[in-house]
Amino acid sequence: MKKTYPILTLLLLVYCVNANAQFGKLKDALNNAAGNLLNSKQLKLLQSDPITTNFDDCNKTETMPVNFGADSVKKKLCDLTSSYTSAQGFTLKPGFYTGTFKSFCLKAGTHGPGNGDGYLYAPLAGPKEKIARTLIANWEQHPEIEQSKVQLLLWAIIAKTNFSKLSADLQLAAAKLLNKDDLSALSSSIMDYLSSEAMLKITANLPEPAKTIVEIENKMRGLLYQANSSYDQIEQLAMLSGNAVPDTDFPRGIWGLHPDGYYIKYLPHSYTRTEVVIYVPKTIASVKYLPVGTVAVPASRGCQRLGQSNLLACEN
């Protein structure tokens, strides 16, 4: 049943290492370039990645082919909401299930989901993992808050934005979704918008994609600090145009093994909607499926990592 694919050739890309050495060998380049422009706290913030989940965190060996279960009858999770609880999620017995959940972009400066991109499961991770998880989880209790506002707050975390400088509207939404300690932690950041001249000096010796991401995060901070900036403006920064080159070893619709023993495939419709298909083997009595805290991670590292929420999209 299980099929093993070869491990991808190691690429020279930033943000693929652990949080302690997020920029790897590029750290020295930042230190040399920014040493005279930023204080030590700002430099540490610039070198960090609040959410670190990436393809290295995925189980790439225990997978199944795209066509597995193609002819199976799949139960719709939208019809099973009576068995759902916000604490444990859905209780699923052996069989196939499908549902589309509202999701979020967790990596600015990358391409949106493409038709050929394969996604695998990974847990939410990074220095701001707990706050991001809480933000997404608590949104379930506040349906009056638009998904776009939650996305803006997540982009604000990713861009290392000082929450005390956000618009009153976003601060109000944040106050409903996070506690005082979380808000205090997000307001202790002193990463301000940096001038074009400063950014030229800081990024002069940075290779791609680090240079693009540092520049985009800075521009996003600038817009987030402006009360009159629009969602579309920030979205255009967060999402690169065009499509990333898909990894053919991990095609769209590949099945990945979840640590709890079931298989799951991710079929993003966009970064705001992710269709999931779940297979629970007969060897398991039942599993609990709770999406929040999980990430659909693309094999193509140039695509967006998609944080999953517990909210089903059952409109159709």
- Domains of the chain, by residue range, sit at 22-312
User: Which residues of the chain carry a pLDDT beneath 70?
Assistant: 1-47, 189-190, 316
Return the pLDDT at 39: 59
The pLDDT assigned to 128 comes to: 95
CA trace torsion 18, 23, 26, 28 (10° rounding): -90
Q: What is the pTM of this model?
A: 0.85
Q: Give the C-alpha separation, 239 to 152, whole Å.
A: 13
pLDDT on residue 13: 34
Q: What pLDDT is recorded for position 243?
A: 86
CA 5 to chain centroid, in Å, comes to: 24
pLDDT at 211: 83
pLDDT at 17: 36
120-132 pLDDT tens trace? 999 999 999 999 9
Give Dmax over CA atoms of the chain in angstroms.
Answer: 62
Contacts of 308 (CB under 8 A, 6+ apart): 101, 103, 136, 274, 276, 291, 292, 293, 294, 295, 296
pLDDT at 156: 96
Say what the pLDDT of residue 144 is: 96
What is the pLDDT at residue 15?
Answer: 36
Which residues 6+ apart lie within 8 Å of 208 measured at CB? none
97 and 278 Cβ atoms separated by less than 8 Å: yes
